Every structure is written in C-alpha cells, then in structure tokens.
Structure 1
Amino acid sequence: MNRRPLLALAALLAAPPLLAAEPPTEGGPTVLHCPHLLDPAAGKLLGESTVVIRDGRIQSVHAGTSSEPGARVIDLAGQTCLPGLIDAHTHLTSETSPTGYTDQFRWNTADYAIRSTVYARRTLLAGFTTVRNLGDSANESIALRNAIDAGVVPGPRIYTAGVPIGSTGGHADPTDGYRQDLAGNPGPKDGIINSPADAWKAVRQHYKDGADLIKIMPSGGVLDESASADNPQMTLEEIKAVVAAAHDYGFTVAAHAHGAEAIRRAVLGGVDSIEHGTFMDDADMKLMKEHGTWFVPTIIAGKYVEQMASTPGYYPPQVARKAKQVGPIIQATAGRAYKAGVKIAFGTDAAVYPHGQNAKEFEYMVQAGMPPMYVIQAATTHAAELLHRADALGQIRPGRAADVVAVPGDPLEDITALQRVSFVMKDGTVYKQDGKPL
C-alpha cells in the first residue's frame, strides 16, 4: 500500500463519538453477576461469580451473588464471563477489497483513517478490547490509538507498530509493483532499510513517531506484489540491529516470517514473536522453544486468502498464486507448533479478512488440535504476557483493567460461542449488552 502523505485528522478528532457507550454510575461501582466465570490463569471455569468494578478497574471478585451499596447491577444470566479478548495481530487502518490495489492511488491518508474508526468499533464489539496493530501505511494507527485513548472514538486498546520495517523490494516496501517513476527509493524514514545503520535510524524514527513496538518483515509475504511468499529478505545482522535498537527504546519486536530460514534468522536475532510461520520446520520450533519466542499463527488470514484467490480478479495473479501456496499449510503448521510446545498467542491478521470476524480464529485453532481452554488462554493470559501487560490485562482479577466480555453458553463446550459475544466492557464502560451495541 502506498505511503500517502499524512494528513491532519482534526475533523475526525472533533467529531462526537461513533458509539454512545454506557458509562458506570457516577461515583458508584458496577457489579456484574456472572453465572459462570472463566479464569484462564487457573485454567478453570468457575461457577456463579460477582465482579465489582470501580473507576475502570476490577475492585473485587466474589463467589456467588452479592451487591454493593449504590451499585449499577448487570445480570448476565445464561452467559459465561471471561476477560476482554486480545488480538495480537491486526491492521485496523485497512480492509481487504477487490479494489484495494487501485484504491491506494485514489485515497488519501484521511480516507484510511476515517474508515479505521469503523473497523476499530467492529473489533471492540466482537469482544476484542485490546489489539496489537502490526503495520499501517502512514502511522494512521498512531492517530487512531490516540483518538481512542482520548475517548473521541470507540475501539480497542491499541499497541501499534506504525509502519513496518523491511528491505528494498521486500514485503514492507509499499512501492512493490509500481512503475519506475512512481516507485522511488523509500528509506529508513519510511521503514525501508538495507544495513544495520539503517535499522537504527528506522527504529529511532518509530520512537519519534510515537510507536509502541516494532514490526519487521524478514521474509516475503502473500499480499505484496513481489514474487515470493517465503524467501529471506533481511540479514541476520540487520535483524540484530533492529532488536538492539528496539530494546534500547523499550520496544518489543514482532517478525512477519513465512519461510523457515527467515524464521531462523528472526529467532537468532532476538525477536519477541514470529507472525504467521507458515513454512516453520522442526528446527525452527526447537529454536523458538530454546529462545522463548512466541508464535502468532493467524490461521484465519491464510484460509481467507486461499478462498479469495479462487475469485477471478480479486487479487493480482502473483498474489493469488502465493495465497494458494500459503493457505493450505498454515493451519497444520499451527497444530504442529502446539504439539511441539511452542508458546502461542492469539492473532488473526485482521484486515486480510473483514474486521469483526476475529473470533473465527478460535475455531480454526481448535480444529488444529488445540484445546478450547488453551486457545482462550492464547487470547488472554498468553497475549497479555506477549504485550508485557500481564499485570493489567488478560484476567478478571483485582487491580486489572475492567475488560470483561460475555458469551451465551459455555465456550469450552462450543468454541464458536466466542463468535457470538453478547456483552462487552472495556475500562469499566459497557459498549454492548444483551447482544446489542449501546
């Protein structure tokens, strides 16, 4: 996607919120009555429980039903409560479209930014109260994060990488496929590096821009207009330089990597997570376990691109070819990684498929051989650990953020229940109740 000049978002930021969420009763607590409460840290489904919330935090959790003086009481009869879900791989400022490869020449950054508010709302209402945003085109997701944090628009809590970092002609190069006079020569300020020195400059630029973490592209990818989905595209020295610079600035590093060699280099280079991992081999898995590297499978993205590759004209021919190569493999790889004991956090590559369908990934993970409790942990305690926010997110425990969702029935018996989120609370504010947005 072209890096369009970043336009001011003053009109967007001045607009009223898109969703009239229901805030807590002024000065009083909110009490949730949950017939069942899923505790991912303990790996247990608890019985009837009361959750007391004050000032956007969990104040207490009690067995049975109780209340508090002056409290607003929400009875979630017939539902299971669980922590707000975390998607560790999203792209909230774009969405798949058959016109996407030409829209980039017509739309301005503001067009993408305004649409991102719709995608953010959709994601929140699907029960995902926190996301990592792993790449945009012009730092639009930084503006989106700031607008959500300020309460201007509704959406999940965002940890964003801004623009991705990669090499000339690689998966991060936004000008792949352009004619020569338009392609230009993107450099470190644009996230395109070709040396360790460039890597340091690119990371420092991200710090200046206000990013929360770093995303690198050490392998080819599916949706760019280059030839390979899996060839290595960054040297080990470049990856080590990115990681060293990132750690100086308090950043974690996520690595888009389909190919086995790119995965090996990324793990040896010290990245925190491998995204996609389609062609991961046994040696890669062993190395990831040794280094404690997280794996974020994004099965839904692989399945979606494989499906759409059969739709004439949806993707350019070279993209459709790569989609048909990656799609049939990615789910089986995730299953093998789980059996090998690789640490797995939940992530979907939202935007590659339509936003709001994130929870379909749970179903695919279970089909790959992962137990229902494990895949819920992947989207709560595991993802919170990957984010280095285990003290604030991923559990319904005193002191944590008051992020609570509920689904009808028991998701341990029917994992597809997570695709029917009926209640959403983020930071103590209710955005969805009885299956309806507020």
Structure 2
Amino acid sequence: MHTVFKSLFFGLATIMASQASADLTYLTAAKALDVASGTFTEQPALIIEAGRITHVGTAKSLPAPAGATSIHLEGLTLLPGLMDMHVHLTSDAEDNFLASMNYSIPRQTVKAVKNAHKTLMAGFTSVRDLGDSGYAVIAVRDGIRAGEIEGPRVWSAGHSLSVTGGHCDDNFSAPEMKSVAAGVADGPWAVKAKVRENIKYGANTLKICATGGVFSKGTQVGIQQYTEEELRAAAEEAHQQGMIIAAHAHGTSGIKAAIRAGIDSIEHCSFLDDEAIKLAKKAGTFLSCDIYNTEYTLAFGEQNGVPEENINKEKQVSAAQRESFRRAVKAGLNMVFGSDAAIYPHGDNGKQFHTMVTFGMSPLQALQAATINSAALLKQADLGQLKEGFHADIIAVNGDPLKDIRVLENVAFVMKAGVVYKRVE
C-alpha cells in the first residue's frame, strides 16, 4: 500500500511541476493555421502565460522571453484545440448495449474519467456532453477543473429531458420495474422544473429530446415527442438562466418546432425539408450532425448486442441524415462538429472530419465547425482560435489539414490552458 501511495504522490507532483513550468511558455512550429481565414503563418511563435496566449508572431519577430519554457514542434502545424459538441462520456460503444444499461453510477463515472482522457489525447480540448445518469459527467467535469484528473473542458447537460415513454426515457425495463428516467417531464411547467433541477445540480448546458431516436425502444425517429409549447418552455427557462440548450431531433416536425421554440442547436437533423432549412437560416440555429457513426453501428452493432430494432432505425436515418447534412452545408447554415461519441469509440472523434468533407464541406469548413463555430454556439469568445487573449488550447498535427483532413485523426501534440498533455514522441 505504501508503494501505491508513493506512486500516486510522485505522479501528482509531476503534474503540478508540469503545470508550474507551463506558466510561461514559448511555442514554435513549422506552420500555424488561422481557421478563420484559412491562411498559414510560416515559423509561428506564440507566448503563453497563465493559460492564455499573450503574444502571436513569428520566430523571427517574436523572441523567447527570459525564463520561458521553450517548445519547438519541428515540422508540425499548429491549430486551435478541437471542439466536439455532442458526446456521451459515460458510455462505450464497445460494451454490450443492453448490459451497459445496468451499470451503476460509480461505474459510469469511471467510464467517463477514462473517456475524457481519451478525448483530450485525440486533440479535443472542449466537449459538450449531452446526457448522462446521476450527474456523473458533472462530477468528472469538476474533477478536471480541480486538476485531479485529465480531460477537456466540459459542458454537461445532466439528465436529458424526455416525455414519458419517449427517447431518453427508460423503455427497456419491464413494466413492473416502474423505471422512469430522471429527465422525464411532461407539460411546460414540469419541463421548466426539470431544467431548474439540472442547473441546481451543476449542469452548464441542457438537452431536450424533441423526437424519437435510434437507440431507444419503441420510439419512431421521425415522430415528434414534445409539443412546441413544451420546447419553448425549456428554451425560455434555459436562456433565462444563461444556458444554451440542444434538442435531439431526427424528424422534420420536431426539428421545426425546436427551431421555432428558440432552441440553440439541433442534434442529428436527419429529415430536413426546405422549410426547416429556411427557419434555421433565419433564426441562426446551429446544427450538429453525427454523420460518421453509421458504419460503426452497422458493422459492430449486432455483435455488441444492439437489438435489431435499433439497427434497422440506423439504416432508416443514415442516408437521409447525410443528405440533410449536404443540403444544410449548401444553404450556409451554422454547422458545428458533433460526433455522438459513445455510438462509436471515444478517441476516434477526429474520424468524422473525413465524412464531413465527403458529404459537402471543404476541409476549412469542417475545421471551422470544430473550432470557431462551436465556440460561437457555446458563447465562448476566447476559444477556438490562435489569437492573443484566447485560451491556450492548442494542438499540432503532421501535415496540412486543408490538403488532407485525415491528419486530424492522429494529433501529435495537445495543450490545454497552457499545460502540455501530449508531447511529440
């Protein structure tokens, strides 16, 4: 036991020393990409102090300050840390689908700790977790903030709101179990109360399930669940308390009702029509489309215990969702990066970039979705770019992501808030 505690002590001491030495850092690389303009700076140099970028220049114009820790990333390209606006850290796609529903809250919390670390190592320095049980992700988020564990910045929704029997309720248990998901709320005032309850226990974003979904029992993906009045109640309460709110919405009527109700982002967006696109354009609504995970579900879902009903629903939405994504990009809607990681393995988030480019985005647009657009959705004016005054959330890759977006699948260097978490091997 003495050896274990000694190891833990020196591990924490190493982390603290790393953070202390990172108070003033001089960072150089071969190139840096401005994700707003799509232009590169050759031989960039950044000075980072107390977790923020204080100066931006080139190695020739900006010398290293006295006492700074110098990091030279020879041959690599700097980018702002990536942002995924739809993850579920407490779940693993590799686990048996039905068995995992019986995991205890402590077990799910352990999963979230592991997956937060994998996500950060993949270059995603900010995530929005859209639904868990028992506020497990809020606990993990707070542990990350306290420096007790490693992970990205986390916006956690707590319990997803659902109508009785809808997507996000517990429909897999037998009736005599009388199992009701903690986010179930019927009627505008009950919805408001549930929003307040999530915020009471630490949620810093919110989610409501407006339509049926793929990975639930007995729901139809295209069917609207919440009324527009209920959706508006959720949006008004969230905004009154300074929060942004997402709506899970596959079906057309649910998408349009959520947009009209003032929901900030629509998740999945499988069945868009012309009116929905016009409404989203006018309202400035953000769309988050998880268009990568289809292949994983269809290839591994059955062996991972996903019921036939759910696999069939994935087949129903996959092609339509990708076509809706293409049309949304063509219409110039506000698009963010949302992977729904947990439907496929955490740490593979970056593989969605190639799919986004395949279905209509330029590499720069895909990068903007995961940086400046996601920062705009979160209302974080100091995230998503390599600029003076911004948080020092920085990654580096080997290659040019505008020529080959797949370089983002293998991030070589990760810094968050000025602290290096992944070094070049």
Determine if the alignment matches structure 1 residue 263 to structure 2 residue 255.
yes
8 A Cα contact 1:404 1:426, kept in partner: yes
Partner-residue secondary structure (3-state), 1:325:
helix
Larger deviation: 291-300 or 40-49?
40-49
Determine if the alignment matches structure 1 residue 369 to structure 2 residue 360.
yes
1:162 is aligned, of 158, 163, 185, to: 158
8 A Cα contact 1:123 1:356, kept in partner: yes
Equivalenced residue count is 416
Query: What is aligned with 1:52?
Result: 47
1:206 is aligned, of 187, 198, 223, to: 198
Residue 15 of structure 1: how far off its partner (Å): 12
1:322 is aligned, of 313, 318, 334, to: 313
Query: What is aligned with 1:179?
Result: 174
Write the mapping of 1:78-157 to structure 2, written as runs, cut at 5 A.
Answer: 78-105=75-102, 107-157=103-153
Q: TM-score, normalised by structure 1?
A: 0.91
8 A Cα contact 2:167 2:219, kept in partner: no
1:229 is aligned, of 213, 221, 245, to: 221
Residue 213 of structure 1: how far off its partner (Å): 1.2
Q: Describe the shift of the 1:14–1:89 C-alpha distance in structure 2 as closer, same or farther (beyond 3 A).
A: farther
Larger deviation: 19-28 or 232-241?
19-28
Query: What is aligned with 2:414?
Result: 424
What's the RMSD between the two structures over aligned residues?
A: 2.1
User: In 2, Cα distance between the equivalents of 1:424 and 1:288?
Assistant: 34
Partner-residue secondary structure (3-state), 1:50:
strand
Write the mapping of 1:398-409 to structure 2, written as runs, cut at 5 A.
Answer: 398-409=388-399
Larger deviation: 39-48 or 341-350?
39-48
8 A Cα contact 1:159 1:212, kept in partner: yes
8 A Cα contact 1:16 1:153, kept in partner: no
Query: What is aligned with 2:69?
Result: 72
8 A Cα contact 1:296 1:346, kept in partner: yes
Query: What is aligned with 1:338?
Result: 329
8 A Cα contact 2:23 2:418, kept in partner: no
What amino acid is the match of 1:283?
A: E
User: In 2, Cα distance between the equivalents of 1:69 and 1:18?
Assistant: 25
What amino acid is the match of 2:394?
A: V
1:37 is aligned, of 20, 32, 40, to: 32
8 A Cα contact 1:264 1:287, kept in partner: yes
8 A Cα contact 1:34 1:79, kept in partner: yes
Q: What whole-Å deviation, never above 9, does each CA across 1:18-53 have from its counterpart, x for those lacking one?
A: 995872554862111121111112332222210110
Q: What whole-Å deviation, never above 9, does each CA across 1:137-188 have from its counterpart, x for those lacking one?
A: 1110100100000000000000111110110111110x212111113455xx
8 A Cα contact 1:306 1:328, kept in partner: no
User: In 2, Cα distance between the equivalents of 1:127 and 1:164?
Assistant: 26
Q: Describe the shift of the 1:21–1:403 C-alpha distance in structure 2 as closer, same or farther (beyond 3 A).
A: farther
User: In 2, Cα distance between the equivalents of 1:364 and 1:374?
Assistant: 12
User: In 1, Cα distance between the equivalents of 2:108 and 2:383?
Assistant: 29
Runs of 5+ in structure 1 lacking a partner?
A: 1-12
Deviating runs (4+, > 4 A) in structure 1?
Answer: 13-22
Q: What whole-Å deviation, never above 9, does each CA across 1:349-401 have from its counterpart, x for those lacking one?
A: 01110000000111101101211111111111000000000x22101111111
What amino acid is the match of 1:343?
A: N
Runs of 5+ in structure 2 lacking a partner?
A: 1-7
8 A Cα contact 1:25 1:72, kept in partner: no
Write the mapping of 1:249-260 to structure 2, written as runs, cut at 5 A.
Answer: 249-260=241-252
Q: TM-score, normalised by structure 2?
A: 0.94
